[in-house]
Structure 1
Amino acid sequence: MATHHHSAAWSATAIGAICGVAAAACWAIGFVAGKHGITAGLTPPDLAFHRFVWTGLLMVPLVARAGLSDLGGLGWFRGFVILFLAGPPQALLNYTGLTLAPLGHGAVIQPGSAALGGLLLAFLLLGEKLTLPRVIGVVAILFGLMILAGEAVATIGGHAFGGDLMFAAAGWTWAAFTICLRGWRTSGLLAAQVVGVLSLTVYLPLYALFYGFDHMIAAGLWENLLQLVAQGGFAGLLALYLFARAVTALGAGRASMFPALVPPMTMLIGFLALGDVPTIPQLVGLAVVVFGFRFALKP
């Protein structure tokens, strides 16, 4: 009996770990595919369309079942706050950053800023303690981000530093989103459903009215299908589902370590798929930020 219990516990842990690693890989695929889409002629608004509009169509029945009148109990005000923090505006910051700065910068700065912002906002707004390991993590993450910013200014150009700032803003926006989820005790799955539905009703009309489909049409069918699958499928629905499974199996504390895998996975996939070779400063910044993640996630 004890052996069976131990085996079941190990199985749940293994499943949680596999789901967590797979979620990080899905987010990394979204980063790399986004860079590919930019190179192929798609624009940040096009990528945001693929990220949210198609999945939004799938979310309508789910939100309708939970109660469309109050967005499944979340409420319209909170729904629009989450739309801004985790919907198309946040994605546009990320994708625009990819037009200005290297993939390696986005891979490190956005997750690093999200972790940094999450720790500091939790301390300021939720009263969570900044323990010594977390302070070490904060300092290390800041140092790693400064290395990348220094490379942007010294060797790439001012436009790259602007891209870095956009990645950082996207990370802090995501951090504010996670703080809202914790403060409001809202599940990430419900938040994703609400973002999808509101993207249909808000972003889709604005995109069609003020931007149009010209770049999307010019990029061709296969590039758009790639982005639909990578942004809406992998980085959107699948990553969220897998991460939720990891949280269920391992708990929020242990599951929170998996986003730390996004930077190295993005660089690896970017190298294999795009031939994007990281520079020495990018690898050093990556190592320092991952080291900071290690401490930042300790209780």
Structure 2
Amino acid sequence: MLGIVCGAGLPFFYLSATGLTYAPASHAGLLILGAFPFFVTLLAVLFYQEKVSRERKIGLSFVCAGVVVLFSLSLLTAPENTWKGDLLLLAASFFWAVYTVSLRIAGLPPLVSTALMGLVSLIALAFLWATGLASSGLANASWDMLAGQIFVQSILVGLMTGFSYGYAIQKLGAENMAAIGAFTPVLAALIAIPVLGEHLENYSIAGLIFVSIGVVIASGIFKKR
């Protein structure tokens, strides 16, 4: 339960939100959701002595290549401090992997795990605000901004994502979910172009291709078929 709370609760959101202040959304999609299959496998090998198949080794090699390409080239050519955002996004990816493994092991119903994650995060935020350790920034936000964030963070991310992700893992299994999740970095990068006015650099495109191919191969879905 601690892995569920920390992996997808307040620590994860803090790392990903802070990382996005330095790095573009295309990097977030690639590093958080593209790299997390590698961290999931690493946790499974270290703590549960899970054997890694040949297909997964090949796929994870592609994932690592994509992350290395993105990180190294953004370090050399991207705006200053982008590398800080990339590191924070990789840390968020590790936390999401902890959440995925913990969710699978705990076996909690999707709504229960979502409620647990939200309740503990709310208590932690209330404590931080009450003690003055963190500033909410609510006084500087407009009502339009607050309404949009409440809808996105509470309904879409908080409830729908938590429930649908947990439900899908139970019904489809982690491998099929990983294969489907390979398309998420691509979608995030494409949506960021019209919504945020971002553009894809050549190294971002290369990283997306490597990671997407790697996740699909590592999922083992081709071997199953």
TM-score between both structures, scaled by the size of structure 2:
0.88
Cα distance in 2 between the residues matched to 1:102 and 1:81? 27
Return the match for 2:44 from 122, 142, 149.
Answer: 122
* Compared CA separation, residues 82 and 242, structure 1 to 2 (3 A): closer
* Aligned counterpart, 1:276: 198
> Which structure is higher in helix share?
1
TM-score between both structures, scaled by the size of structure 1:
0.68
Q: Any idea what SS the aligned residue of 1:257 has?
A: helix
* Aligned counterpart, 2:217: 295
> Mean Cα displacement is larger for which, 185-194 or 171-180?
185-194
Q: How does 1:16-55 map to 2 (within 5 A)?
A: none
Tell me, which stretches of 5 or more residues in structure 2 are unaligned?
none
The answer on 1:132 being equivalent to 2:47 is no
Q: Any idea what SS the aligned residue of 1:256 has?
A: helix
> Mean Cα displacement is larger for which, 105-114 or 184-193?
184-193
The answer on 1:155 being equivalent to 2:77 is yes
CA contact (8 A) 2:178 2:216 kept: no
Cα distance in 1 between the residues matched to 2:205 and 2:82? 17
* Aligned counterpart, 1:86: 8
Amino acid at match of 1:196: G
CA contact (8 A) 1:152 1:158 kept: no
* Compared CA separation, residues 174 and 243, structure 1 to 2 (3 A): closer
* Aligned counterpart, 1:217: 139
Offset at 1:286? 0.5
Identity %: 28
CA contact (8 A) 2:32 2:90 kept: yes
* Aligned counterpart, 1:146: 68
Return the match for 2:100 from 178, 181, 184.
Answer: 178
* Aligned counterpart, 1:238: 160
Cα distance in 1 between the residues matched to 2:31 and 2:173? 26
Cα distance in 1 between the residues matched to 2:91 and 2:169? 26
Q: Any idea what SS the aligned residue of 1:186 has?
A: coil
* Aligned counterpart, 1:61: none
Count, aligned residues: 220
The answer on 1:261 being equivalent to 2:216 is no
Cα offsets for 1:223-260 (capped at 9, x unmatched): 11111111221122112333344445544442332222
Q: How does 1:190-229 map to 2 (within 5 A)?
A: 190-210=112-132, 211-213=134-136, 215-229=137-151
Cα distance in 2 between the residues matched to 1:188 and 1:113? 23
Cα distance in 2 between the residues matched to 1:130 and 1:158? 38
Cα offsets for 1:11-54 (capped at 9, x unmatched): xxxxxxxxxxxxxxxxxxxxxxxxxxxxxxxxxxxxxxxxxxxx
* Compared CA separation, residues 252 and 153, structure 1 to 2 (3 A): closer
CA contact (8 A) 2:8 2:95 kept: yes
Cα distance in 2 between the residues matched to 1:219 and 1:98? 18
Offset at 1:153? 1.1
The answer on 1:109 being equivalent to 2:31 is yes
